[in-house]
Structure formats: structure tokens, C-alpha cells
Amino acid sequence: MLYPQMNEKRTVFDLGGLWNFYLGGESLEKKYLAEPLKNPEKMYVPASYNDQKADKRYMEHYGFVYYQRYFSVPNELKSKRIVLRFGAVAHKCVVFINGKELINNTGGFLPFEAEIDPNSLKEQNLLSVAVDNRIDLSTLPVGNEVKRAMFGDGLPDFESVRKTVIKNKNYPNFDFFNYCGINRPAFIYTTPKEYINDITVITEIKNGAAAVKVSASLAGCEKASVCVFDREGKEIIHNADASSEFVIEAPRLWQPGNAYLYTAKVTCGDDCYYQKFGIRSVEIKGDKFLINGKPFYFKGFGKHEDSETHGRGYDGALNVKDISLMKWINANSFRTSHYPYAEEMLSLCDEEGIVVIGETPAVGLGFSYGNEAEQAKLNARAKHHKEVLEQMIARDKNHPCIVAWSLANEPDTTGDPDRAHEYFKTLYDLAHRLDPQSRPVTVVVCNNDYVRDKTATLSDMICVNRYYGWYIFAGDLDAAKQAMTQEMEYFSKFGKPLMITEYGADAVAGIHSAGANTFSEEYQLEFYEAINSVLDKYSFVVGEQAWNFADFATVQGVMRVDGNKKGLFTRDRRPKLAAHHFRKRWGEIPDFGYKCNNKGE
């Protein structure tokens, strides 16, 4: 699915701004879709609705909300193909135009779109969206149906208290707040009736030159041509046939920290599209992760789309700030934990040379069959997992910043190791079939019994989240180093690269302790110094991504004080003590060749 683009053949209308809004209940009420809302509130789009009002009803809402606005399409464009597109709406939604259903969608982190019949349009058209924020065993991310949040409050087990009636609300089986609404940009765009539906760019570096293939999926027209321009706008390939391979001599490569992008102009009949792409290679060789044939070392973060007011909503200015802070701290990468991020962020990483691991929203997965009703939900979730993997790769396949795919974060892979392995082997094979670049595929695991696990080593690159010194052996960094060493010794036997995709300790900004007690900035710093001293000893460890880039919101509960405080930066992006440690450390670790001998091994 191509991102909406304004060019000489296409038009884009941004639907962002103030929408009318109504906080609904647990049942879908179509009257709020078919008719104008009476006495509506105002809500900004794109952004989560939860933090925009000074009223806890919005933070604790469970069920449907309704958005409305009017739009117009100029008469001269009604002869074109007209499409309504949402970047992401969390988690389920149904869309009406002028009282009639246009489309419904499941999944809160990927785009969807539908064509609008020009004959159905008036001078002023009512666009209505109903959004359901509820999560359960069938959704991604997963909701907990026993009314007990991962790190929050819940219904006790003893009978005398179980008689207490508590209101319905979401219990996430994940440790971040369930921000919902129209979280990403919404557009109406036009194309000619015969149009380019999709574009795929594949590059291969051969003997100092680049073999490039730009193929196009077409609707209505039979043949497309391609012109390629360098970063300065100079045409270097003229009217090549789409799907034929052409060669760029002495190409400028896309490099971490030194991005270079080309542009392919694809033309088909009366339509055209400008697709940016980078020339770079990604492969795993032995226990090394190679970019452009050189051993790469990941320095960076797990992250969240999370900020005050916007919630999980798209904030372009904040994305620019975050990338700037990553460069300040000498990071080169992050994982889209724990869902696909906005396309606009990935395009920014393409431009800035930031390496990204793209992850599906599959967080909180268990594999227990339970009763028949629960099994039906698990089956629906498995089907949805394949769908979002397919949609994520289809959306992001051309981004040079994406160097690997993560199938899930912290699934239960040890409760039934064989079933988990079978489940992820199917997804692993699917990802390799779907990706035209066949990037490395991984599953990010976090379990204590890593010897029992059979999924981590299935991956092309082993990715583990580990919290020795925090959730395990809290406050005892000597024990943490011993446990980390034992685990690294175990994984060293598999001959694969390993990356620490999460490790960290909560630090409340401003709390200091001469004894480096837990929750102090000093303890967070000493935690990282201890674990890094172990990681540095193993050449097969090819990366470290601290958890987390910045403090972020979570469900209320006694385990979280105003959210998760594991950020190296506060939620408003102020560096903690450990950030300065990493700035120095990562400044001394090269992007390429770290822990390698003169042969790069």
C-alpha cells in the first residue's frame, strides 16, 4: 500500500485537525455514525483521545468512541479515483460516509483504506468513525480476561473479596498504556482511474555496482516505466521498463549514520509515483550481523510511541526530537517495540540513517488451549497475527532503515515449548516468503528457563530481553553478572548472533543515592555498567538496546509510579545519569567492526 503522495498526477487532502467526538458505551450505536452528533465535544486528530481531556473517564474508557467531521471534494476531482485512508485506528473501527458503511478494520497499528464512490458525494459529506478500544485474548496486543493487569490492579483470588463488583475496563497483558483513537494521520487522496497500486524495490550489490529492480503492481494499465534520480535530482536511469533489472554503477550506499537515498519515478498511463529507496545489503554470516558486508553493532533502544497529550498519536516534531537525541547519545538503532510504528517515522529514519527492527503488535502471547471459547479466540488471534505480519511487511518492505523483522515480543515460549516453536516456525517461514529482501527474522524472548525454550534459537538472530539485577536479583549486581554470564555461555554454543533487545532498571528522575539503591539514577547507571561488562566479553553479542528510550505511560498499579521509569530520558526527554554513561560508551564503540579481528571475524 503506497503512502499518499501529492504530485503532478495525485492529490492529497489532510483530514487532521479538530473532529467532533462522543464517548460511547460497550455496544456499537449506529445512530452516532448515521446522524450528526448532538452537542459533541472536540477532539484533535491524529492523537489518542485518552489524554486530551482533564477527565479520567477518557483514560479509563472501555468500549466505543465516535468521531465525526465534514469534508468536501472539488468537483474537478470527482472524475478521479477517490480514496479514504487511515494510518492507524486502535483497535477496531467502522467507517461511515453520509450514513452508509464504507469499511471496517481490525488492528490498531497499520493503515487501511477504501475507495469512495464519487456519485455518493455531496457538497458537504459526513465522515463518521466508531472506534472500539477493547482488548482480549483474540487481539494484538493481548488483553487479560481474568481482570488482572500485568503490573496493575486486579481481582483477588480469595472468595470473600471476589464478591466485590468492579467496573469493566481493559486489563492489558502488556506493560504500556492502551492508548486508542485515530492515532495516525487520515487522508483523502486521488489517483487516475488507471493507477499504480504498489511498488517493490529490490537492490543487490555486485562487484561495486548495484543491480536494481523496480516492479509495480498496476490497476488498469498494462506497462510501467521507471526513471531513477540521485539525491541531487540528477537522472541516472531513463525510462527503463518496470520489472527489468538495471545497473547503477558506483552507487552511493545507504549506511547507518550516513544515509543516501535514490528516487524511482514510476509512470503508468496518466499516473506516476515517486518511490525513495536505498542501496544496501543485510545478511547474517556466522555469528555476525552484516550491513553492506561489514559486521554491524546495534547501539540503541527499545522505544514507544508515547508522549504527553498525544498519547500514542503521531507527533512529527517529537519524532525529529527523538532522532536528534539518539544521535546525541551516539545510538544507531531502535526496535519498534511493540508494534509497527508510523510510516512517517520510518521515512525519517531512512533519511537520518537510523537502523530499525520492525515488530508486529504480538505482545503478551500465551498458548494455553483453555476452554472452547478461549481456544476460538486464540485461533482468531493466530489468524490475525499472520495478517498483521503480511500487512507490516507489505507496508515497510522498501524502507532501507528496516534491517530485520521481529515476530513478537516476550511470548510464553516455555509453558509448551514444542507448541510455541511450531507456532513461530510457521510465522518465521511466512516472513521470509513475504519479504522480497528476505531480511533476518527473529522473535524477542524473555523467559527465565532459557534452556527449556525452543523458539529463541529458531531465529536468524537470537534476541533476548533480560532483567538480571531488576526483576531477578533486584539490587544484587554481583548475582546479576553471574546469571548473565551463565546465559551467554549457554547461547554461545549455537553459532548465531545474539542481541540484548531489552535490559534496564527503573530510575525516578531526581532520586539519588550514595549507596546506589534501587530506583535511584545511580543504581540504573551501575546496573548498566555491570551488565555491559558481561556483554563486552562475548564476540557473538552484536548489539545492546536499552529499555527504554524514555519513560512511558502504563496502566495504573502499585508496580508503576506514574508509568514505567526505565527510560534513559524522562518522558519529556531530559537525560538521566545513565544517558551520559551511554553517550560516552557508544561514542567509543564503532558502528562497524566492534569485537572483530582484522579479518572482520
- Whole-angstrom distance, CA of residue 237 vs CA of residue 240: 7
Q: Which residues are catalytic?
A: 410, 502
- Locate 408 and state its grid cell: 513478537
* Peptide linkage before 338 cis (omega within 30 of 0): yes
CA angle in degrees (0–180, nearest 5) for 256-389-360: 65
* Residue 507, φ and ψ in degrees, nearest 5: -140, 115
Q: Which of 426, 468, 362 is nearest to 137 (CA)?
A: 362
481-to-192, 491, 504, 536 alpha-carbon distances in Å? 62, 15, 13, 12
Element (H, E) at 349: helix 343-352
Which residues make beta-bridge pairs with 128? 68, 96
Q: At what angle do helices 577-588 and 521-535 cross, to 10 degrees?
A: 20
Parallel, antiparallel or unpaired: strands 225-229 and 235-241: antiparallel
Q: Which three cell numbers stand for residue 381?
A: 488471534
**Spatial separation of the C-alpha atoms in residues 534 and 523, rounded to whole Å:** 17
List the grid coordinates of 148: 488482572
Query: Can the peptide bond before residue 440 be classed as cis, meaning omega within 30 degrees of 0?
Result: no
Residue pair 545/535 in contact by the 8 Å Cβ criterion: no
Q: How many CA atoms, within 13 angstroms, populate the side-chain half-sphere of residue 14?
A: 9
Determine the Cα–Cα distance for residues 193 and 115; give it in Å rounded to an integer: 11
DSSP H/E element including 578: helix 577-588
Q: What is the CB-side half-sphere exposure of residue 241 using CA atoms within 13 A? A: 5
Alpha helices per DSSP H over 78-186: 159-162
3-state secondary structure of 318: helix
Task: Report how far Cα 425 is from the mean position of its chain's Cα atoms.
Answer: 21
CA distance 383 to 378: 9
- 372 three-class SS: helix
Distance separating alpha carbons of residues 306 and 567, to the nearest angstrom: 12
What is the C-alpha separation between 258 and 381, in angstroms, rounded?
A: 40
Pairing of strands 181-182, 125-132: unpaired
> Where are the extended beta strands (E) located within 74-224?
81-86, 89-90, 92-97, 100-106, 112-116, 125-132, 181-182, 186-191, 195-206, 209-219
Amino acid at 166: I
Length of the chain: 601
Instruction: Write the DSSP assignment of 132-154 as a string of letters.
Output: E----TTSSSPBPTTSB-SSS-B
